[in-house]
Structure 1
Amino acid sequence: RAKSVAFKPGAGNFHDIPLNFFLGPDHWHKLYPIAKGKNQSPIEINSKDVHYDPSLLPWFVGYDPVGARTIANNGRTCKVVFDDTFDRSGYGPLTGIYRLRQLHFHWGSSNDHGSEHIVDGVKYAGELHLVHWNPKYSNYAEALRKYDGVTILGIFLILAHNIPVLLKRFLFYLIKGKEAPFSNFDPSILFPKSWDYWTYHGSFTTPPCEECVTWILLREPIVISPDQVNFSWTLVSLLSCLGVGPRGQGG
Structure 2
Amino acid sequence: MPGLMALQRNAQYYYDRFKNLAKSGDVPGQEFDNREAAYREAIAKVESLQSDIKGTERQVLASELQLQEASVRLEQSRKALANTDATVGRAEAEQMQLTVAADTALGLRNQQALAEAKLRQAKLNLSNTLIRAPRAGVISRRTIQVGKTVEAHDPFLSIVPLDFDNVWIVANLREQQMPNVRVGQAVKITVDAISKQAFEGWVESVAGGSGAVFSLFPPDNATGNFVRVVQRLPVRIRFGLKENFQNRIRPGMSTRITIDTARYVRNSPQEW
**TM-score for the superposition, normalised by structure 2:** 0.20
Larger fraction in strand: 1
Larger Rg: 2
* Higher share in helix: 2
